[in-house]
Every structure is written in structure tokens, then in C-alpha cells.
Amino acid sequence: MLKKFKTFLEHFFGKQPPAYLSELVGKQATYRFREATTSDIKELLRLEKVIYSGETPWTKSAFLFEFYSKHPHLYLVCELNESLVGFAGIRLFGIDGHITNIAVDPHHQNQGIGTWFMEELIANAKACGCETISLEVRVSNIDAQRFYRHLGFEAKRIKANYYQENGEDGLDMIKQL
Ligand SMILES: CC(C)(COP(=O)(O)OP(=O)(O)OC[C@H]1O[C@@H](n2cnc3c(N)ncnc32)[C@H](O)[C@@H]1OP(=O)(O)O)[C@@H](O)C(=O)NCCC(=O)NCCS
């Protein structure tokens, strides 16, 4: 009886154990992937600081804006021992799926986490009828550009002064599905 009540409460307050989508056996550990929720935001901000030298390019309100967007969207996280080590997301605009963010803790890069995120987001966009996937990347972020090229993205055009905080140009990349 008590157990049933607990289960009801957990369901009601959204505290059910998360539904994992997949596991990935990396060089160091086994990672688990699931959809992000608003309860992850505190941990996402911590993770951003690890990845971006103490900066949080996306604030709490930026995450909330995305998670409650009217456009179809999907945000995923990667967990190791209940800590987040990566996240990525996509927002759909008609027949284009736009990768809005992707980042992996430097201690856990080059093990396939980023590729898993991209393949999952792309497969979902395709299933929703998207014909292209787009993204922007800093012109200075050569590693990420190579990563995207290996996934089939092509450079389209430069967006001058795209990144507001330092006026850096953005490179528009696109993949046909
Ligand atoms: C770009 C980024 C998301 C890639 O994430 P990642 O988890 O390192 O990605 P992967 O491990 O899937 O792939 C990275 C490389 O490792 C290689 N790799 C993948 N699995 C591997 C494995 N098991 N063993 C060895 N190498 C592997 C991939 O082939 C890939 O090589 P490539 O870059 O030459 O294509 C990550 O570097 C990152 O967070 N960077 C900082 C934030 C950033 O720049 N975000 C993008 C903003 S536009």
C-alpha cells in the first residue's frame, strides 16, 4: 500500500526514474543517454562552466526558453554516475532541423558521445519529415567543424559578427537528409 502511494507521488511530482534511451561503452566508462528535463538545468549550468572555462553561454532562462519552445524540439543529456557529461538539442523549423547546442565535458570527449547525440537528433528530425539539418559554429572552432564534416555537414556561408560577445563570425553548416 505504502509502495503504491510512493509510486503515485513520484509519478505525480515527476520524480520517476528517468527512461534511458541508450548506453554507450566508452574507453573510460559506460554512459547513459536520456531526454533532458527542467530539473537538469542546475547541472547543465555546472557542466557548461566545465566546458567553457567558467562561462555559461546558455543561462537558466535560455535553457527554459528552449525547453518550453513552441517549435518541436528535443534536448538530450548524457549521464555518468548521475552526473551530466554532455548535452545536445535540436529545434525544428518546417523542413529544417536546427542543432541549437551540443557540448561534451572535455574529460569525456573523443569517445563517441557527440556522434551519438548527432545521430539521434538527426534520426528524430528525419522521422519528423525534415529534409535538412543546419547549425552554426564559430569560425575559430576548427575541431567542431571537422567533427560536423565527418557527419556529412557542408559549409554554406559565413555569418559576419554572429557571436555577440566578441563579434566572431559564424560558419553556417548544412546536411541534406
Ligand atoms: C564538438 C564536440 C561536441 C564533439 O563531441 P565528442 O563527444 O568529442 O564527439 P565524438 O567523440 O563523437 O567525436 C569526436 C572525434 O572522436 C572520434 N571518436 C569517436 N569515438 C571514438 C572512439 N571510441 N575512440 C576514438 N575516437 C573516437 C570521432 O571520430 C571524432 O573525430 P573527428 O572530430 O575527427 O570527426 C566536443 O568536442 C565539444 O563539446 N566541444 C566543445 C563545445 C563545442 O565546441 N561545441 C560545438 C559548438 S558549435
45-59 burial: b if 16+ Cβ within 10 Å, else e: eebbeebeeeebebe
Q: Are residues 56 and 70 in the same domain?
A: yes
d(CA 140, CA 120): 26
Q: Judge whether residue 9 has pLDDT over 70.
A: no
Q: What is the pLDDT of residue 165?
A: 83
Q: Give nearest CA residue, ligand 1 atom 32.
A: 147
In this structure, what are the phi and psi dihedrals at residue 61, rounded to the nearest 5 degrees? -70, -30
Question: What pLDDT band is residue 11 in, cutting at 50, 70 and 90?
Answer: very low
Q: Judge whether residue 65 has pLDDT over 70.
A: yes
Q: Judge whether residue 5 has pLDDT over 80.
A: no
The enclosing domain of 52 has a CATH number of 3.40.630.30
Q: Judge whether residue 8 has pLDDT over 90.
A: no
For residue 152, what are the domain limits? 136-177
pLDDT per residue as tens digits for the range 72-120: 999 999 999 989 999 999 999 999 999 999 999 999 999 999 999 999 9
CB 31 within 8 A of CB 114: no
Q: Which residue of 98, 104, 145 sits with most ligand 1 atoms within 8 Å of its CB, as the best mutation to test the pocket? A: 104
Q: What is the pLDDT of residue 164?
A: 84
Q: Is the CB of 100 within 6 Å of ligand 1?
A: no
Q: Are residues 55 and 124 in the same domain?
A: yes
Number of structural domains in the chain: 2
d(CA 137, CA 22): 27
Q: Is the CB of 107 within 6 Å of ligand 1?
A: no
Q: Are residues 119 and 177 in the same domain?
A: no
Strand order in the sheet with 30-35: 22-25, 30-35, 73-80, 83-93, 96-104, 132-138, 168-176, 154-163
Question: What pLDDT band is residue 17 in, cutting at 50, 70 and 90?
Answer: low
What count of Cα atoms within 13 Å lies in the side-chain half-sphere of residue 76? 27
